[in-house]
Structure 1
Amino acid sequence: MKLFKAALLAAALAMPMTPAISLATTPADILVVAQNIDDIVSIDPAEAYEFSSGEYVAQTYDRLVQYDAADTKTLAAGLAKEWAADDATKTITFTLRDGVKFTSGNPLRAEDVVYSWKRVIVLNKAPAFILTQLGWTPENFDSMVKADGNKVVVKYEGDFASAFVLNVLAARPASVVDAVTLQANEANGDMGNGWLKSNSAGTGPFVLKAFRPGELINLTANAEYFNGAPAIKGVIIRHVAEAATQQLLLESGDVDMAKNLTSDQIATIAGKDTLVTETYPQAAVHFLSFNQKDEALQPEAVWDAARYLVNYKGMTDTFLKGQMQTHQAFWPSGFPGSLDETPYTYDPAKAKQILADAGVKTPITVTLDVINSTPFTDMAQSLQASFAEAGINFEIIPGTGSQVITKYRARTHEAMLLYWGPDFMDPHSNAKAFAYNEDNSDGNYQSTTTWRNGWAVPEELNKETKAALAEPDQAKRSAMYVDLQKKVQEKSPIVIMFQAATQVARAKNVDGYVNGATSDFVYYRLVKKN
């Protein structure tokens, strides 16, 4: 504890205009966060692919269009003040804001945008696929994306609408970096990748002051931020792996926020006058699925009954409390186009009647593969007990994550308990996974839940999924995805049960923290300490 306080005090004193403080009080204009950040591999936005690095990128970089702290559900102007899309020619022309500067002081240019995206394609790190799906390659990029004065002209390939492209360009790897600064710090043709692993080169509300892997991220406010200077002078994110230590530091006043507490700790903290807890829905949806290569699981009555055999409330009121919320559609709540209706409740009598009316003979014995860790094993045991009420008997097969997923990809399971999260904020990311499968043959491997469960999706859903992807009108497009979710919710061998949630505890005097449905939508720029 003494070592932590000394390090915290040293970091606080290093901040400009920081008043003298006692060891048990954080600076009035600095937010101090306790968080496990040891997942970070890189903080270069062209390479960052972890949860914690995603949060960091959101503080230090901007995209041409983005989901901002003011409204994480609406795609808004970022570094581009306006844009014009031509779906017929598959072209979008962005006009940059005037007067925007990088934190280095260099002015934002269209050439910086072109360089940033080309850099992602050329470096070809983990998140590059998000941009390459637009048909961009190292060979054709210069003909696809061009700078024209204060405009960026983007061409794309593929049978999809500009609305989809805009969501792709709002994703993390589309962050705009300072080309002049990176070119000056390039080493051995790495386009500044090495330098950017310990420095920032963005336009964001904060600038990186220090990053020490497995120790801290120290951010200073960018007073010239185009969207308005942050309300707080800086943010210090301390790496604290142990939840018990995070709780101790929060309760003693050594940190303002703790982000990795258990549900039991959250319950304890909720009763304290000086602290506040918040629960934020996250993007991952958890589901139970039935492999349609198994004849006993093919009757639609089995799918229908299953929706009434999940003890949703029983789980979320006990061991899943605070960790998951009931959600029964494939696109997560908190995202544009989500379906938040939850029409199914635990009703074994209704489930038995559905099976009886369809002439399904019970008992049915089904193996259920599950990752051998909490809360998945607890969920499997709950399902085993509740499904037995209607004569569907699960034999639980626990395994490591890799074992379970390998079996799922091979389509050799019977029933599967797993989760799914989008790679970027567009409903097609999940619609393709849950509502599309035109070729169900064994040799046509697809990274979707439909193919992996051997479900030959009805042609109606396949057509609607493709139509939604190509629909240029955003309101119509969202409505189409809501309709797709309703249809999958009503008739599918994939039973979506829950959406993950994250719980954050903070001092009562901290206000304005924003935690959206993914790590890319965590924002500190509106935080105030009263």
Structure 2
Amino acid sequence: MIMMRKNWKGAAMAGAMAGLLVGVPAGLLASASPVAAATPKDTLVLAWAIDDIITLDPAEAFEISAGEIMGNTYDRLVRFDINDPSKLYGDIASSWTVSDDGKLYTFKLKPNLKFASGNPLTADDVVYSLQRAVKLDKTPAFILTQLGWSKDNVDGKVKKVDDLTVTLETDKPYAPSFVLNCLTANVSAIVDKKLVEANAKDGDMGYGWLKTHYAGSGPLKIRDWRANEILAMERNDNYYGEKSKLPRVIYRHVKESATQRLLLEKGDVDVARNLEPGDIEAVSKNADVAVTNTPKGTIYYFSLNQKNPTLAKPEVREAMKYLVDYDAIGQTFIKGIGEIHQTFLPKGLLGASDEKPYKLDVAKAKELLAKAGLKDGFTITMDVRNNQPVTGIAEAVQRSFAQAGIKMEIIPGDGKQTLTKYRARNHDLYIGQWGADYWDPHTNADTFARNPDNSDNASSKTLAWRNDWNIPELTKKADAAVLERDTEKRAQLYKDMQKDVLATSPYVIIFQMIETAGVRKDVKDFKLGPTSDTTYTFKASKS
């Protein structure tokens, strides 16, 4: 197993890395600049902003770029069909059953599976992986702990029956689709117990080692990672299913849209992943490039902190929904990368509604503000992360607010600064995004429409909690929906919840992300997935 190399500097290191990746030109492995060698026919090279990767451990990785890497390099019990996310299929599981009381899941594993290391993959690895994720209790662990698992009880809830059989017990009879979709998440990825434990220190279950190493069984294996510069994967010949069509896939960290476009047009990269509307329009005119896109399970919104007595007025909440120029935003800042969407469930999820009752109506907003005793407006702040399209949208909202007498000061900051303030409930307005953690409607209902404890020291700090929105009745509805086992009835429960949230919430939901990529035309079968972990680069090939 080759150790991941972080923070390497200089051409000498780039050359050394090229030596590890036999057949890959050293230019590809240099830091992200417009000058590079043409891509080889046996390698897919992607330009993407991958500076969000902080760990390679699936029990901890919770960032968009890391999600894609995990999706290509680790297996899990089940996955969903990216062409129809409502359909689930076995990954390493050959079959599964659910007990009559709805709380015991029994999985049969496919025989003769192997990790990239050559070690056999058995029930021991499945049990170890799920228990490890719960016991480490890193950020994504909540996806599993919401099944009633904890550090104290998970050993009794996740059990091996024999080498090819595992049982999982939940605390309540949840909708099976909810439980199974939780098991498709990256935190449920299966790690090589023997390899991880061989590198464990002081009982850390390999946590220190796996941050920069690989221990999976997926179609690709991680070969090298240089933080903020490059991540290289290569074909895993031990993979049980369809082998990667190309021997290697390389991600180059390129943050700027214009630089990505230039690299793509020159043929120095095969795929550009962060193109802004102007660059999308430019590459769409290039005969050697195609543009592909897919709706993503990510929505952009801004929210009103109900700790602020002005923002807590129902009329103010509604007025702000009429002070967004949705049409103009759709035609400018999100052209080609998003579509106007006003409900908390993205299109594609069970029960998603596409109601769009709000449009820019300054007169209506003024009427509501006058009803709230604020006919002369008020002053407010908005915390904004320094990136597009968020900054542009915030500035557009600032202008439309002013038409109704609302003076909004924009407070810029990086992601860490704005999120820290938001998570502490110290904001007035906050603009950001929320992506589905797994492909089930509870992933968003749990955060937009649940707030089981609104106290400052609550253990569950949902988006409703962050905005001090105390909603006991909606919380009960969300809790009931996740237990409903009839699919049609469950879908209707989520539609009803979306209607309630749309009308009364402190969220102004603006659009759903459409992920767009520019792709060289000699690349075949590159398809963007609906979630961060379902863009399967191992399926791509070149003509």
Give the TM-score normalised by the residue count of structure 2.
Answer: 0.84
Matches within 5 A, 1:167-316: 167-223=181-237, 225-298=239-312, 300-316=314-330
| Aligned-partner residue type, residue 247 of structure 1 | R
Provide the residue aligned with 1:529 in structure 2.
542
Tell me, which stretches of 5 or more residues in structure 2 are unaligned?
Answer: 1-9, 25-35
Provide the residue aligned with 1:431 in structure 2.
445
Report the Cα offset of residue 73 of structure 1.
5.2
Report the Cα offset of residue 8 of structure 1.
9.5
Q: Answer yes or no: is the 8 Å Cα contact 2:298–2:436 preserved in 1.
A: yes
Deviates more, 1:414-423 or 1:262-271: 414-423
Deviates more, 1:402-411 or 1:168-177: 402-411
Taking structure 1 as reference, are residues 308 and 87 closer, same or farther at Cα in structure 2, changes over 3 Å only? farther
In structure 2, how many angstroms separate the alpha carbons of the residues matched to 1:201 and 1:11?
Answer: 19
Matches within 5 A, 1:90-169: 90-149=103-162, 150-157=164-171, 160-169=174-183
Provide the residue aligned with 1:492 in structure 2.
505
Taking structure 1 as reference, are residues 421 and 392 closer, same or farther at Cα in structure 2, changes over 3 Å only? farther
Q: Answer yes or no: is the 8 Å Cα contact 1:335–1:425 preserved in 2.
A: yes
Deviates more, 1:327-336 or 1:124-133: 124-133
Q: Answer yes or no: is the 8 Å Cα contact 1:367–1:413 preserved in 2.
A: no
Provide the residue aligned with 1:42 in structure 2.
55
In structure 2, how many angstroms separate the alpha carbons of the residues matched to 1:477 and 1:143?
Answer: 30
Partner of 1:520, secondary structure, is coil
Q: Identify the match of residue 59 of structure 1 among 61, 66, 72.
A: 72
Tell me, which stretches of 5 or more residues in structure 1 are unaligned?
Answer: 16-22
Report the Cα offset of residue 527 of structure 1.
1.2
Report the Cα offset of residue 62 of structure 1.
1.1
Q: Identify the match of residue 23 of structure 2 among 14, 29, 54.
A: 14
In structure 1, how many angstroms separate the alpha carbons of the residues matched to 2:260 and 2:433?
Answer: 27
Taking structure 1 as reference, are residues 59 and 255 closer, same or farther at Cα in structure 2, changes over 3 Å only? same
CA RMSD of aligned residues (A): 3.4
In structure 2, how many angstroms separate the alpha carbons of the residues matched to 1:53 and 1:79?
Answer: 21
In structure 1, how many angstroms separate the alpha carbons of the residues matched to 2:408 and 2:212?
Answer: 49
Q: Answer yes or no: is the 8 Å Cα contact 2:299–2:513 preserved in 1.
A: yes
Report whether the alignment pairs 1:80 with 2:101.
no
Provide the residue aligned with 1:373 in structure 2.
386
Taking structure 1 as reference, are residues 372 and 398 closer, same or farther at Cα in structure 2, changes over 3 Å only? farther
Q: Identify the match of residue 527 of structure 2 among 514, 518, 525.
A: 514
In structure 2, how many angstroms separate the alpha carbons of the residues matched to 1:174 and 1:4?
Answer: 34
Partner of 1:483, secondary structure, is helix
Taking structure 1 as reference, are residues 213 and 405 closer, same or farther at Cα in structure 2, changes over 3 Å only? closer
In structure 2, how many angstroms separate the alpha carbons of the residues matched to 1:267 and 1:212?
Answer: 32
Report the Cα offset of residue 351 of structure 1.
4.5
Report whether the alignment pairs 1:348 with 2:362.
yes
Partner of 1:521, secondary structure, is coil
In structure 2, how many angstroms separate the alpha carbons of the residues matched to 1:413 and 1:37?
Answer: 28
Q: Answer yes or no: is the 8 Å Cα contact 1:90–1:162 preserved in 2.
A: no
Provide the residue aligned with 1:20 in structure 2.
none
Q: CA deviation digits over 1:106-133, x for unaligned, max 9?
A: 3331111011122223444443333233
Give the TM-score normalised by the residue count of structure 1.
Answer: 0.85
Provide the residue aligned with 2:45 in structure 1.
32
Deviates more, 1:5-14 or 1:84-93: 5-14
Taking structure 1 as reference, are residues 384 and 318 closer, same or farther at Cα in structure 2, changes over 3 Å only? same
Q: Answer yes or no: is the 8 Å Cα contact 2:394–2:410 preserved in 1.
A: no
In structure 2, how many angstroms separate the alpha carbons of the residues matched to 1:410 and 1:189?
Answer: 33
Partner of 2:485, secondary structure, is coil
Taking structure 1 as reference, are residues 425 and 87 closer, same or farther at Cα in structure 2, changes over 3 Å only? farther
Report the Cα offset of residue 59 of structure 1.
0.8
Number of residue-to-residue matches in the alignment: 520
Report the Cα offset of residue 314 of structure 1.
0.7
In structure 2, how many angstroms separate the alpha carbons of the residues matched to 1:431 and 1:507?
Answer: 39
Report the Cα offset of residue 505 of structure 1.
1.5
Partner of 1:519, secondary structure, is coil
Q: CA deviation digits over 1:123-163, x for unaligned, max 9?
A: 44443333233333344332211111221111123574443
Q: Answer yes or no: is the 8 Å Cα contact 1:186–1:195 preserved in 2.
A: yes
Q: Answer yes or no: is the 8 Å Cα contact 1:121–1:136 preserved in 2.
A: yes
In structure 2, how many angstroms separate the alpha carbons of the residues matched to 1:472 and 1:335?
Answer: 16
Q: Identify the match of residue 318 of structure 1 among 322, 325, 332.
A: 332
Q: CA deviation digits over 1:203-241, x for unaligned, max 9?
A: 211123333444433322235543422333321223345
Deviates more, 1:248-257 or 1:146-155: 248-257
Taking structure 1 as reference, are residues 301 and 253 closer, same or farther at Cα in structure 2, changes over 3 Å only? same
Report the Cα offset of residue 92 of structure 1.
1.0
| Aligned-partner residue type, residue 174 of structure 1 | S
Taking structure 1 as reference, are residues 373 and 30 closer, same or farther at Cα in structure 2, changes over 3 Å only? closer
Q: Answer yes or no: is the 8 Å Cα contact 2:232–2:251 preserved in 1.
A: yes
Partner of 2:69, secondary structure, is helix
